[in-house]
Amino acid sequence: QKTSFHRSQTLDFKNGYAFSRLPREGVGGDTLFANQLSQDELDDLCTKGATLTYGQVKRPAPSRFTPAFVTYDKKVLKFDAYFMEEVAISAEEHYRIRQVGLYYYLEDDSMCIIEPKVKNSGLLQGKLMRRHRVPKNERGDYYHWKDLNLGIDLTIYGRTYRLVNCDSFTKVFLESQGIIVNPPEELVSDPYTEQRRTPVQKRIVPTGPDPFRQFLTYDTKVLRFYAIWDDTNCAFGDHHPCIIHYFLADDTVEVREVHKRNDGRDPFPVLMRRQRLPKIFVDKNKNFPSCVLEITDHEVQEWYSPKDFAIGKTVTLLGRTFLIYDCDKFTQDFYREKYGITDFQPVDVNKKPLEKVPQVIPPYNGFGIPEDSLQNCLSLFPKPPRKDIIKMLENNLKVLRYQVALESPVPEDKNRRFILSYFLSDDTIGIYEPPVRNSGILGGKYLKRTKVTKPGSTPENPIYYEPSDFTIGSTIEVFGHRFIITDADEYVLNYLERNAESFPEATVQSIRDHFLPRKVVVETASSGFPKKDLDDLIVEVQKELKLQEPFNTRQFHEAFHHFDKEGSGFLDKARFLTVCDRFNVPTSTILLKKV
């Protein structure tokens, strides 16, 4: 009832070497009992004859079986062969001989064909046939090593290979198997390849002038001249630097224009294409339409040649005049060897530097500040004037404020008061007029923040107002309007005193004298008189003055300052009563006595 009859594996590989081992199972997987004796003892018993018993002598044990693929592992027969390939598309060769190597692998009777690769052969070379068992005929037979020998034709897949030689191992193997190896043959070479390897005979050059000889002799040899094309006679003409190339191979000339960055010209390097240039024309009829026809040798008496070009010469090429001022080293060597010229001193064609015309600044037109308007004269794209960043950071938010009065013949302008602000960060001035109700004048910004020049300064050298110019009673002229400084902020006095070394003594003393009466009044008011009683007294005086006829407070203050000749801020009782009588203030009341 067995269904499995396979045998156990007895061959194995270890560390790359083949070896045999005893089977572990029997046929079909039956259990094998371990032998009590070793294999060597069993072999001895099989070969030892019987001495104590009668019977037939046992035959010796057969030799150990080794498969063919183990015996012939890595053993290859190598034959040198060639085949002829037909070439139908070439006029120079009709067939091609291709040399190959045929390899026969003894372990599995497979074959492969490899053609050595030849550089730049243009053929698909390498492995022409992969390794496999090659069929011999249509009956299903395969090629065997017994079919291989030297001097025979082997047809494989319709291609016939001629075996001509083999290596020493192949010869020894075939002879050991009883095959008589034929003598080797010579490996046939490809006739076209041998023809290409033969040296080409040099052509006999004729003694006369030959264009082909000139081409072979002077190919890739070019004379280079540096020239200037003077085009100043035309409108918007200029001196164009050019390079003239003279090709010795065919006596042609090419002119290239040298461009520079931002030269304003189109980037076309070739000014004249490579061509033969006529030097002298043959006399011909003026009505001949030569402008529309190509120039032939019959119309030209002489063409330009290397002798027509030299340093310092002026040549006319197609109506353009070029002055040659220099050449390269190869050109110098050519003229030195052929014409014996030794003077190659270059001509100086550099333009003389133009005299620098001083820039004339136009007069100031009155728009904007002079520094800002000056930038339009210095650059096509004006930039704002540079500011003193350190000064702006040190004097940021520092403003000196003054009260000014407008000096004007108009009666309505006499009572107008303005606040003049001087910004220390950038020396600008802004004027603001506080609105006054029912005055008929719209207050607000009178002058936006800007720099103001002093009278008499010129636009070329403007002189701007500085804090040292602002003193009590001084006149400030702002764009045709005159202002008189009547008062200042206390911050002005504190700033001038902190930086007294930076300002004139007269400016600081003027502000001190102006604030001195105020300090005296403050000191007097705080000398012991109760502040509450003083405030009550002020309220009573204001109520009393409101009962009087329309009272002009400004004129009342001016009268006090008028009688205070010394500017001390004090008036004696007699002068005080005189001022009160002038303004119809009753001087016999108890309130006046308190004051």
Give the model confidence (pLDDT) of 75-128 as tens digits: 999 999 999 999 988 888 899 999 999 999 999 999 999 999 988 888 899 999
Do the first three CATH levels of 68-197 and 397-524 match, i.e. the same topology?
yes
CATH class of 211-339: mainly beta
Closest CA to 519 of 474, 565, 576, 570: 570
Given a contact cutoff of 8 angstroms between Cβ atoms, the answer to whether 223 and 245 are in contact is yes
Alpha-carbon gap, residue 514 to 471, rounded angstroms: 10
**Phi/psi at 495 (5° precision):** -65, -40
**DSSP codes joined into one string, 71-129:** HTTT-EEEEEEEEEEE--S-SS-SEEEEEEEEEEETTTTEEEEEE---TT--S--EEEE
Q: Is the pLDDT of residue 129 over 80?
A: yes
Q: What is the pLDDT of residues 429-480, one digit of tens each?
A: 999 999 988 888 888 999 999 999 899 888 778 889 999 999 998 999 998 8
Q: What is the mean pLDDT of the chain?
A: 85
| 423-435 CB burial, b ≥16 within 10 A, e <16 | bbbebbbbbbbee
Element spanning 504, H or E = none
Question: Residue 274's CB: how many other CB atoms inside 10 A?
Answer: 12
pLDDT of residue 35: 54
Residue 325 in tokens: 């001022």
Alpha-carbon gap, residue 541 to 530, rounded angstroms: 17
Q: Which of 35-44, 162-171, 262-271, 325-334 has the lowest mean pLDDT?
A: 35-44
How far apart CA 578 and CA 345 sit, in angstroms, is 108
Nearest alpha carbon to residue 145 among 169, 174, 168: 174
The architecture CATH gives domain 397-524? Roll (2.30)
Neighbours of 240 (CB within 10 A): 19
Q: Write the CB contacts of 175 (distance below 8 Å, at least 6 apart in sequence).
A: 181
Please report, for the chain, the start and end positions of each structural domain, with discontinuous segments joined by +: 1-54, 68-197, 211-339, 359-391, 397-524, 531-583
pTM reported for the whole predicted model? 0.38
Percent of the chain with pLDDT over 90: 40
Per-residue confidence band for 399, with pLDDT thresholds at 50, 70 and 90:
very high
Angle 505-525/490-498 helices, nearest 10 degrees? Answer: 130
CA pair distance 464, 562, nearest whole angstrom: 34
The mean pLDDT value for 532-555 works out to 73
Q: What's the CATH code, domain 68-197?
A: 2.30.29.170
User: What is the rounded average pLDDT of the residues 18-31?
Assistant: 80
Residue that wins the pLDDT comparison between 541 and 362: 362
